[in-house]
Each structure stands twice: as C-alpha cells, then as structure tokens.
C-alpha cells in the first residue's frame, strides 16, 4: 500500500494567473480512506490529478512512500472520474481490458459479478444505464487491485438509492484489499459516511482549512 506526503506551495495553470492551490501540506497513511471536501472550484480535481502525476505543482511535491514522483517505484493507481469515461465503441470487457490486457474471461466475469453486472461483458455503454456505466468504471478501477484509489465525485448525478448502492459497493470492495483512498466530494454527508478522515479544502486559493478525524461506526457490510 501507499502512503502519501503532499506538500504543494502553489499551483498555477500555465494559461492563467490564478493560484488554484496554495500552502497545502498533509499526509495520508497506508490504507487510510480520506475524503476531501470543498466547494466547486476549490482545486479538488487539480489536487487529485497532481496526486496521480497528471499535473505538476510549481513548486511542490507529492511523495509516495517517501519517494518523489521521479524516483518512485511503479505503483498501481485506480482513478474513478465523475463521468464513467467508457469508450463507447468498445464492449464492457474490452473497456476493462484497456487497463489490464491479459485478464481472462473468467476474471472479467468475476469482477462484473462483484459489481452486479453479470452477463454484461459483451454490452456497449449505450446499452447500459448511468448507474451501470459507473459500476463498470468501479470494476475497471478495482480490476488491477490498486494500491492507491482516487475518486472524483463519482456518484454526483445519480438518484439517492443508486448513489447509496454504489457507496456500499465501494466500501465492500475497498475492505477486501484496503487501498489508500483519496475521495473528492462536495457532499459532507457522503464524506462522513465513507471516510476515516475528512479534509476541508477552502476556496480561493485552495488550502486545507480543517482536518478532522471522523469517529463514526461504519455501517456493517
């Protein structure tokens, strides 16, 4: 598993003058489930992209188990986006094979069974409901047994019962291997329900203003 040490002095996008993040310093322990809450525009997606190595900080650094981005050993990262981002011209199985080409049909069926999509491996995304597409994106993220799982408002435009089913599914899958999780949301209730620890990111420019350990009983699974 991965621990993260995040130390970002500032982040400015090349085509703008606005500071998106400033003075951000926090750590995430191995296997910890952290939620990052903040208003729209606070820089939550930017921060997740920096943790994934898709965006650079200037200056600043994200350390994986004490290693900088440049010299860290390979690390399996799962990223679940707000939109499922399935390739519409590929089947469910082919979408899963994009992240793990050598996976067998049996393994595909097994992970689809886990997310409640048995028998859907040959379907195309337009044949699936929004909730089902999100289940595929969850399956895709867990297929590689990631050490680090990043989620960017994954349940945002779902109806309440569907969102709750997917939150339960996420916790169930997480508890099998306990990857380190950074879960971005603007929904405080969702953060408290899922996470061990909730970080609040302020707007303009984004900075952690409160770091609270949530002391609640997780629902029994």
Q: Cα separation of 213 and 199, whole Å?
A: 9
Tokens of 21: 């993040």
**Sheet arrangement for strand 19-28:** 19-28, 4-12, 60-64
Binds ligand ADP by CB under 6 A, chosen from 20, 34, 111, 149: 20
The beta strands (E) that lie in the chain are given as 4-12, 19-28, 33-37, 60-64, 77-80, 148-152, 180-185, 197-201, 208-213
The yes or no reply on residue 212 touching ligand ADP (CB under 6 A) is: no
The yes or no reply on residue 191 touching ligand ADP (CB under 6 A) is: no
Nearer to ligand ADP, 98 or 204 (CB): 204
Binds ligand ADP by CB under 6 A, chosen from 6, 8, 32, 44: 44
Is the separation of the CB atoms in 161 and 99 below 8 Å? Answer: no
Nearer to ligand ADP, 46 or 121 (CB): 46
Report the nearest approach of ligand ADP to the CB of residue 130 (Å). Answer: 16
Of residues 147 through 166, those in contact with ligand ADP by CB under 6 A are 153
The yes or no reply on residue 38 touching ligand ADP (CB under 6 A) is: yes
Q: Give the binding site for ligand ADP (CB under 6 A).
A: 13, 15-16, 20, 38, 40-46, 82, 153
């Amino acid at each position: 598993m991965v621990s993260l040490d995040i130390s970002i002095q500032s982040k400015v996008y090349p085509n703008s003058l606005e500071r998106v993040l400033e003075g951000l310093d926090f750590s995430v322990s191995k296997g910890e489930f952290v939620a990052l809450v903040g208003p729209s525009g606070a820089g939550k997606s930017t921060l997740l992209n920096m943790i994934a190595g898709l965006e650079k900080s200037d200056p600043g650094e994200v350390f994986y188990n004490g290693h900088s981005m440049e010299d860290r050993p390979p690390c399996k990262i799962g990223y679940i986006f707000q939109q499922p981002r399935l390739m519409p011209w590929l089947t469910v199985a082919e979408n899963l094979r994009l992240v793990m080409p050598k996976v067998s049909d049996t393994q595909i069926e097994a992970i689809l069974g886990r997310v409640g999509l048995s028998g859907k491996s040959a379907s195309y995304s337009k044949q699936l409901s929004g909730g089902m597409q999100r289940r595929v994106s969850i399956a895709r993220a867990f297929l590689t047994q990631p050490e680090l799982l990043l989620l960017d408002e994954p349940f945002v435009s779902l109806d309440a019962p569907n969102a709750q089913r997917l939150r339960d599914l996420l916790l169930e899958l997480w508890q099998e291997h306990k990857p380190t999780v950074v879960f971005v949301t603007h929904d405080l209730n969702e953060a408290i329900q899922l996470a061990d620890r909730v970080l609040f990111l302020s707007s303009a420019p984004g900075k952690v203003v409160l770091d609270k350990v949530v002391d609640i009983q997780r629902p029994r699974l």
